[in-house]
């Protein structure tokens, strides 16, 4: 800090502090302006809770200084778009505390985001994929983060995550600084092996990532207790309760949040499972979103060696990973027992019409093309046409990325005008009009928008009737139609698929736009 500056706080004669972004027990992060390069940056001012530490314990103060310098070196070794970039370090030498100058990430932290409510499973999975990419880059450079938590994940304005605060990262050639017997990390997110005194490895960072995602979708921490000691004891001794809101993310959480690090999947497997979870339709409880619950469309992964791009939805002809089967079973169970599915729940569920009434699920019998289908079942020709017309009228757009039709609502990826890849999501509810969704994005590699004008909706009842006969789902608890455009990766034309599911699995048949069945995939017997 420059001496004599009363109105302007300038660090190293170059970085003018403008406003406080956040802080904790070890210092404060400031928004600052780089007076030399005329850009905004984040400046981390490191200060211990006891400002007199340097006077009565100079050894501890010097260890803190070395730890901060170590953070800078750790960050400099990891070059990745999901890891915060460090620009400069201000070090006054022994007896001082350094300042770190980093890129300014302006979207707030994940902790800030979660204060507004939980995430959907797909949203959390996408975020988790970005953080995992950052961890993989760090691990490849010999760096373990050791403190993955919502406060240490920053968000760019477009939602992409950036991992920060490598101040306690363990580097292979500098482990002595952590060999003091003190607890390093946030107890809530520490892996059991680290709580028990072991240094842990990359698997410990995966535990922290999974616990963070658990909190993101469930809205609470499953092992947090009233005191730090009680929390540490819970991490060591208690099983993580199964999540109830995680939907397609459940397989990831169940596999990773186990006490034995050897039993956890490796980072590559976790990455593929997150890609599957991110590709599923949104499944959330009614208290956090207006999005309806929906049974997930099956998503399949290419073989591990061919993991160039994961399709955003199902692609037949490729082996189904075991984790995907878990996603399907869990998603179907969620559809059965949670409000808005075919259950006996009479509360204010996702079928709410906005008038204090609740929309009851349609019967699972094959729908007809009668006039009553207009008002009781959207999964019929007139219902589909009504939903498409309403969405086009509300949005002023007539190009779609895909269309998912359920008995009581329709979810559409509506293409942004002038773009062949960008879309916004909209939901049309039976009796409730059109509502803009919370998800926007881009079509996956090789996907084209679908021309809905080319589809023969009058063929849908016959497809549903055939599905009921051949898909081996005797008492379906969920049924829906998925309409997709051309997929150039495997040269597959536009098509529509009818899905039926129950508590034990699901099957589907695929047809061309005119309703001719192309492929059939029955549920396992």
Q: How many CB atoms are located within 10 Å of the residue 388 CB?
A: 22
Q: How many CB atoms are located within 10 Å of the residue 355 CB?
A: 8
Question: 188: phi > 0 → left, psi -120 to 50 → alpha, else beta; which?
Answer: alpha
Assess whether 52 carries a catalytic annotation: no
- Residue linked to tokens 């310098």: 69
As a three-state string, the secondary structure of 362-408 is: CCCCCCCCCCCHHHHCCCCHHHHHHHHHHHHHHHCCCCEEEEEECCC
Sequence-distant (≥ 6) Cβ neighbours of residue 453 within 8 angstroms: none
> Is residue 332 within 8 Å of residue 478, measured between CB atoms?
yes
Q: Phi and psi (nearest 5°) for 234?
A: -65, -40
Sequence-distant (≥ 6) Cβ neighbours of residue 407 within 8 angstroms: 361, 362, 367, 377, 378, 379, 430, 479, 480
Q: How many CB atoms are located within 10 Å of the residue 287 CB?
A: 12
Distance CA 284, CA 205 (A): 27
Sequence-distant (≥ 6) Cβ neighbours of residue 10 within 8 angstroms: 1, 2, 16, 17, 35
CA angle 267, 270, 490 (to 5 degrees): 110
As a three-state string, the secondary structure of 247-283 is: HHHHHHHHHHCCCCHHHCCCHHHHHHHHHHHHHCCCC
Residue of 34, 57, 112, 147 with catalytic role: 147
Distance CA 194, CA 127 (A): 24
**Taking the mean position of all CA atoms in its chain, how far away is CA 383?**
32
Distance CA 318, CA 299 (A): 10
Supply the DSSP symbol for 340: T
- Residue linked to tokens 């890891």: 83
- Residue linked to tokens 């507004």: 116
Sequence-distant (≥ 6) Cβ neighbours of residue 56 within 8 angstroms: none
CA angle 452, 456, 461 (to 5 degrees): 120
> Is residue 131 within 8 Å of residue 209, measured between CB atoms?
yes
Catalytic residue numbers read: 147
């Amino acid at each position: 800090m420059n001496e004599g500056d009363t109105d302007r706080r300038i660090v190293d004669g170059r970085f003018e502090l403008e406003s406080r972004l956040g802080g904790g027990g070890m210092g404060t992060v400031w928004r600052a302006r780089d007076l030399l390069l005329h850009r905004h940056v984040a400046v981390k001012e490191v200060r211990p809770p006891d400002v007199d530490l340097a006077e009565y314990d100079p050894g501890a103060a010097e260890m803190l200084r070395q730890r901060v310098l170590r953070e800078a070196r750790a960050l400099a070794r990891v070059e990745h778009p999901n890891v915060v970039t460090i620009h400069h370090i201000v070090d006054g030498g022994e007896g001082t505390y350094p300042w770190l100058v980093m890129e300014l990430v302006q979207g707030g932290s994940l902790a800030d985001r979660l204060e507004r409510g939980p995430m959907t499973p797909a949203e959390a999975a996408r975020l988790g994929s970005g953080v995992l990419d950052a961890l993989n880059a760090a691990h490849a450079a010999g760096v373990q983060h050791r403190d993955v938590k919502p406060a240490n994940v920053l968000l760019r304005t477009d939602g992409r995550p950036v991992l920060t605060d490598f101040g306690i990262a363990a580097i292979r050639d500098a482990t002595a600084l952590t060999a003091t017997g003190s607890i390093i990390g946030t107890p809530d997110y520490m892996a059991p092996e680290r709580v028990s005194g072991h240094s842990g490895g990359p698997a410990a960072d995966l535990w922290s990532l999974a616990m963070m995602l658990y909190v993101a979708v469930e809205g609470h921490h499953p092992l947090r207790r009233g005191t730090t000691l009680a929390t540490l004891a819970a991490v060591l001794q208690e099983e993580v309760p199964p999540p109830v809101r995680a939907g397609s993310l459940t397989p990831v959480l169940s596999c990773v949040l186990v006490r034995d690090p050897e039993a956890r999947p490796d980072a590559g497997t976790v990455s593929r499972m997150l890609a599957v979870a991110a590709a599923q339709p949104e499944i959330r409880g009614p208290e956090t979103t207006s999005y309806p619950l929906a049974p997930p469309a099956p998503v399949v992964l290419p073989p591990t060696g061919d993991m160039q791009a994961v399709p955003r939805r199902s692609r037949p002809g490729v082996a189904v990973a075991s984790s995907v089967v878990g996603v399907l079973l869990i998603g179907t169970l969620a559809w059965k027992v949670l409000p808005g599915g075919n259950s006996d729940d009479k509360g204010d569920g996702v079928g709410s019409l906005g008038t204090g009434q609740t929309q009851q699920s349609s019967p699972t019998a094959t729908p007809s093309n009668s006039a009553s289908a207009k008002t009781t079942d959207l999964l019929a020709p007139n219902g589909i046409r009504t939903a498409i017309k309403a969405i086009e009228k509300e949005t002023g757009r007539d190009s779609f990325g895909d269309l998912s039709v359920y008995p009581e609502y329709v979810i559409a990826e509506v293409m942004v005008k002038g773009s062949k890849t960008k879309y916004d999501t909209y939901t049309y509810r039976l009796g409730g009009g059109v509502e803009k969704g919370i998800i926007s994005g881009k079509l996956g590699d090789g996907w084209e928008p679908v021309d809905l004008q080319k589809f023969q909706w009058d063929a849908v009842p016959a497809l549903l009737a055939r599905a009921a006969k051949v898909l081996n789902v005797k008492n379906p608890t969920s049924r829906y139609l998925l309409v997709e455009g051309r997929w150039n990766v495997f040269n597959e034309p536009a098509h529509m698929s009818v899905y039926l599911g129950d508590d034990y699995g699901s099957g589907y048949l695929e047809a061309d736009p005119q309703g001719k069945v192309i492929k059939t995939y029955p549920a396992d017997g």
